[in-house]
């Protein structure tokens, strides 16, 4: 099943195949993942879905920068990871 836009109650359409999303951690860029982009036909909200089983580049690999330059979006982790990031940034 395709992703569903909850506010609009509409199935989202695949509008881009193979977009690169850069996953981020509190320590900075981490991995590049290939995803498909789905767009809500009503509100135009976009989501990255159908992520591959493994990243196509990791931060320590020589090909990382090339993929990172053509990234479509960045993905910050869970709320737990975000709180760690905020603590690191604020020194809290």
- Does residue number 86 form part of the binding site for Zn ion (CB under 5 A)? no
# residues contacting Zn ion (CB under 5 A)? 6
In contact, 77 and 22? CB cutoff 8 Å: no
Backbone angles phi, psi at 57, to 5 degrees: -155, 145
- How many CA atoms lie less than 13 Å away from 36 in the CB half-sphere? 11
- Residue 43 vs 82, nearer CB to Zn ion: 43
CB of 41 to Zn ion, least distance (A): 8
Chain positions 1 to 20 lying near Zn ion, rule: CB under 5 A, are 5, 8
Among 21, 32, 40, 57, binds Zn ion (CB under 5 A): 40
Is 56 near Zn ion (CB under 5 A)?
Answer: no
State the residue for tokens 């590049």. 32
Residues that bind Zn ion (CB under 5 A): 5, 8, 40, 42-43, 45
């Amino acid at each position: 099943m395709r992703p569903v836009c909850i506010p609009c109650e509409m199935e989202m359409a695949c509008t881009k195949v193979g977009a690169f999303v850069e996953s981020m951690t509190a320590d900075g860029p981490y991995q590049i993942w290939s995803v498909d982009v789905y767009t809500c036909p009503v509100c135009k909200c976009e989501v990255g879905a159908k992520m591959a089983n493994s990243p196509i580049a990791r931060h320590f690999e020589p090909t990382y920068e090339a993929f990172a330059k053509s990234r479509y979006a960045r993905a910050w982790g869970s709320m737990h990871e975000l709180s760690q990031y905020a603590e690191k940034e604020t020194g809290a």
